A and B are shown apart, each in its own frame.
Chain A
Amino acid sequence: MITTVAIFIPLLGALLVALLPDERRIIQPVALGVAAVPLALVLYIYVAFGSNLDAPALSQSYTWIESLGIGYRVGLDGLGFGMFFLAAFLTLIAVIAAWDVQRNLKQYYAILFLAEVGMLGVFAAQDLILFYVFFELTLIPMYLLVGMWGDENRRPAAIKFFIYTFLGSTIMLGGFLTLGILAGTFALEELTGGGGLGRTAQILIAAPIIFGLAVKVPVVPLHSWLPDVYLSSPISTNVVLSGVLPKLGTIGILKIAIPLLPQGVEPYLPYIAAFGALNIIYGAFAAFMQTDLKALVAYSSIGTLGFILLGAASFNAMGLNGAVLQQVTHGLYSALLFILVGIIAARTGTRRIADMGGLALSMPWVGGLLALGALAAMGLPGLAVFVSEVMSLLGGFDAHPVQGTVAALGVILSAMYFLYMLARTIFGPLRRPEWQGLRDAGPAEMAAIVPPAALLLILGIFPALLVNIQRPAVELVLSVIGGG
């Protein structure tokens, strides 16, 4: 019940915000309040049920269509909890970071909350159809957020995003429906282990499901919608777009493809690992080539998503734990970097790396946190991304040595381009004299950038805070796939 409330509170919030007068000083506090509720509930769940996510208070099961086994089934598990938290957390950050949304703020928030319903729902859904419904519920809100509030290139970007991801998810739906029809139910719990399907059937069904999820992640070479969309979006949309949405795809692989079709996924594992490594290498090289700071962050984001694939494809405890955790840490660092890039672009009027330099002199907080985010992204020990990347890498290397080795090269590359970026942007002498007086992050901006940075630190030092929660679920998956 608590989970259902947390999922649907933003829907009420969307209606509430839509009814208020469109004035920033009224809308923003209300929106903050709305966004705080799911986050507060998640924190309460963490404290009260952290060791016992199976508690009946958290789950609900109501059969909708008896004959086909479709139902409203939600509940939290270790695989989804971290992202459930992150979706609530980053929506709040996105509400704060909406300072560059100049007009129609209340509509912006209403649509953002609608997307939040879908995001929270995906991570809690325990039914295939319900999962798909929540999955697609994010689609139109995201299309509208990009298309209405993005930059001058927003319209083609928005429709491209929509068509690509809708194509992917529709193909995925084909796999879902076939699986449910053949197995006679859509409940994840009953489908775990294959729902009685043979190996060949599982292999055939896994293909469309993995393909559809791969578009959402996106897996290179299905990523061509991503740069346009990321570059056109307002900062606040970037936060959820890069922090949460790719995880709709990865959670599908971790929570649906692997436990439901263990034998079906198995033959694809080397390829999933290879595409993971490709993502890492391609993302790193592409980021290297960028002259635009935001594009660099976007490609780096594609790259580090590869670790989730690599870890998931390992089929061992180390790799799977790393993959589940990497979903959260990736979201934290990419959200942080996108906000900082937005602040820098707004202050200096440019996103060209070559034009910048010495920004830390006038904006110590912005510069410092940019360094922190970049160091986290390249996997510096002590920061959260390090933990999950190393776990994914070790697990992946164990199962797929070649792919693991290639992925490790990517880590070195990412260190190179991030250090290069930092050297050109925040260090060195100030490029333009008028930048002497650039204002450092104000209170609102600090409120948006400090929490994710702090979480990167905290989780870097105490990864057990999340790993302990996800471990039982990962072990459950391992028992299904028979690995160890």
Chain B
Amino acid sequence: MEAPLITADTLVALIPEILALAFIAVVLLTEVFGSRSPNLSSGLAALGALALAGSATVLLAAGFEGSFFGDGYVVDGFALLFKILVGLVAFFSVLAAARWSARTGDTGEYMSLILAVALGASLLVSGRDLFVIFVSLELATIPSYAMVAFDRRRRESSEGGMKYLLTGVVASSVLLYGLVLIYGVTGSANLSEVAAAFTADLSPAALLGLVLFLSGVAFKLSVVPFHFWTPDAYQGAPTNAAAFLSVAPKMATFALLLRVLIEGMPETAQAYTWLFALLAILSMFAGNLFALRQTNLKRMLAYSSVAHSGYILAAFAALTGPALETAVQAVIVYAVAYAVMNLGAFFVVELVGEEGKSFNGLFRTQPALAVSMAVFMAALVGIPPLSGFWGKAWVIFATAQAGAWVVVGAVIINSVLSVPYYFGVIRSMFFEEPAGVGPVKDGSGALRFSIYAMAVFTVLFAFILGPLVLLAQAIGL
């Protein structure tokens, strides 16, 4: 019965994380002992992110599966898929951050923070034990405080970092409290044993634990009413940090939430689907309505991320019965779709500037950049055949299958509600005259590469969709 805690398989299962950790060390050490060359540090970090994604891909292709550390850490297709995604997001974020971080003079430190968040996110999606989950979540969160506050030349950066830190710590405590209550009620931290205790009829303590856990997660996902840190943190953060943080950790947190709910509380679905429906509707409306008023693009994209968290959360309202499979697909499809369009939009902001008026007449000065940004904005609205459309379509599929017609209606109304602010950007770029000098061109090769790569993924998403859905079906959960 007593198997050794660490076997050869355990090491294989941890290859992606070990590689990421190794690259973090190498990046930091070259900074200390070697030359302080920004290009070298960024290059190594990019390699590290690729190593994470690549090794996860190999494991997925080889069909590697198993659970480790007393069933507290699981490697399955679902986890591997999200590890790949996190690695790829980190890769493009490193490329996009290269130019900016070189100017701070601390490239190595910044790059290692990105990798550390990716490492935490990568562990998180494998967690099957409440405390593994908590520790991984913190590993993904703590470096992100530093990323937000990294721009020491701007006051808003420290301010945003501080706000993010304070609210984040409160959120973590709430989350931990919830986990402890769940542990107390069920007597186990393992999800499969939690499932046995979480039946349709919840005790008050269990319900409180569930609500606190969900509140903590909602904080991390910037879901209304726990979203208020988001605009300040994103506006203060370096743009590329906001890009990365709005995607990678959130993706992993959604994956974690899926695992906890499906593996740990399948019979409690009645208790939480309506709660998700409510949170989703609130987030969509609040995010879109607040975004309408913004002139700063980072702030606008922050509220937009609140709204998009709402769209993804809408799929959670369908996590029951026959719709479950489609709902899991919807989360995966939406997460990938959102990753490409949102990273792209933030990257363009990184290059062009965060004030709305810096986009005036961009189509005249830099047509390729303007067309890319138009693609991202249209995708965020949900115009077909761009990526965001497929995400929303899958969310509607799932919620329609579950018969959650109110949620379907809310998704549709919100798509229209979001048109004015996304299209405000398109209008400035295409219909206005150029304001002055265009964005700085030098040294932005890697950033531009990331932008165009995201634009291509966003436009051709329909071709990724088929394989992605097949994969989602094959890995199940």
Contact = CB atoms under 8 A, between A and B. Distances in A.
Nearest to B382: A170
B179 to A, nearest CB: 35
B469 A65 contact: yes
Contact of B409 (A67, A137, A174): A174
B23 interface: no
B346 to A, nearest CB: 21
Interface in A25-83: 64-68
A65 B469 CA distance: 7
Interface string A170-181: 110110011001
Nearest to B396: A177
A170 B393 CA distance: 11
Interface string B65-106: 000000000000000000000000000000000000000000
Interface in A122-153: 129, 132-133, 136-137, 139-140, 143-144, 147-148
A107 B431 CA distance: 13
Interface in B430-458: 430-431
A162 interface: yes
A159 B466 contact: no
Given A64-B466, A147-B431, A159-B420, A132 B384 contact: yes
Interface secondary structure of B, over-half rule: helix
B469 A162 contact: no
A349 to B, nearest CB: 25
B362 to A, nearest CB: 13
Given A155-B427, A174-B408, A68 B384 contact: no
Given A147-B430, A171-B412, A174-B409, A68 B397 contact: yes
A162 B423 contact: yes
A372 to B, nearest CB: 37
Interface string B236-255: 00000000000000000000
B415 interface: yes
A139 to B, nearest CB: 7
B374 A140 contact: yes
Nearest to A182: B400
Contact of B430 (A66, A148, A163, A178): A148
A177 B431 contact: no
Contact of B383 (A67, A140, A178): A140
Contact of B412 (A65, A137, A173, A182): A173
A483 to B, nearest CB: 31
A140 B400 CA distance: 28
A140 B378 contact: yes
B385 to A, nearest CB: 5
Interface string B389-431: 1000100110011000000110010011001100100110011
Contacts, number: 77
A163 B420 contact: yes
Contacts of B39: none
A158 B409 CA distance: 26
Given A140-B378, A162-B419, A133 B412 contact: no
Nearest to B374: A140
B418 to A, nearest CB: 10
A300 to B, nearest CB: 29
B419 A163 contact: yes
A66 B430 CA distance: 39
B254 to A, nearest CB: 21
Contacts of A67: 469, 473
B275 interface: no
Contacts of A178: 400, 408
A129 B431 CA distance: 31
B242 to A, nearest CB: 26
Given A64-B465, A67-B469, A171-B412, A137 B427 contact: no
Nearest to A111: B430
A158 B462 CA distance: 28
A203 to B, nearest CB: 15
Interface string B250-287: 00000000000000000000000000000000000000
8 contacts: A65-B469, A140-B374, A158-B427, A159-B420, A166-B383, A166-B416, A173-B393, A177-B393
Given A107-B367, A170-B382, 12 more contacts: A65-B465, A136-B383, A140-B378, A143-B423, A155-B431, A158-B427, A163-B419, A166-B416, A170-B416, A173-B396, A174-B408, A181-B400
Interface of B: 326, 367, 374, 378, 381-385, 389, 393, 396-397, 400-401, 408-409, 412, 415-416, 419-420, 423, 426-427, 430-431, 462, 465-466, 469-470, 473
